[in-house]
A and B are shown apart, each in its own frame.
Chain A
């Protein structure tokens, strides 16, 4: 257990429905990341928060995707009007800022597996 929890672990939804995932990071971590991973591929970066500010969004994050991190604590990722191509594992990670020039060590949750039927 890394200390990062994601809910739900699995979600099956019908095409066109909206889904929302939650991530609870390690409490003192100010950075929070969302990734998407499909079978056989590495995690693809979706978006990144520094406290409550969403600092960067990937072009992968279409208009149907939105992420929030109110009060800089937990985060939610919502997908509207789901499509079959959205089926993937959605991973959340959190970290501190890093030290000097060192990239931070990210701690990942176990992910939410989404299946769109």
Chain B
């Protein structure tokens, strides 16, 4: 099971771009990288998933270098409502990680 390491917390300001990096040195060939967002008193919410290079959706971008040992979640022009905990997960459909294992996440605080 690939272990992930991400910063415990980050602070930023409204309108800024925020990049959260996740390290996963032991990522396996079949593993995908998935990010979830969790607001207080709510369950986590899927944000984005990728395997290599770059993935972009209406919420965020995910950058994955060629060696895939790390990934960066990029949130463009954050607002106060982006204050949440962000979790980086690594796994594949049929691996033990298909049960979806969370780490401690990165607590992102956005200030006015």
Contact = CB atoms under 8 A, between A and B. Distances in A.
Interface of A: 2, 4, 33, 35, 41-45, 48, 56, 89, 91, 93, 95, 97-111, 113
Contact of A102 (B42, B43, B49, B85): B49
B41 interface: yes
B93 A2 contact: no
A48 to B, nearest CB: 5
Contact of A42 (B30, B49, B104): B104
Nearest to A107: B46
A19 B44 CA distance: 24
Interface string B30-47: 101010100001111110
Given A33-B100, A42-B104, A45-B99, A103 B41 contact: no
B68 to A, nearest CB: 14
- 10 nearest interchain CB pairs? A108-B43, A42-B102, A98-B93, A105-B46, A48-B99, A43-B102, A101-B30, A101-B92, A91-B43, A103-B91
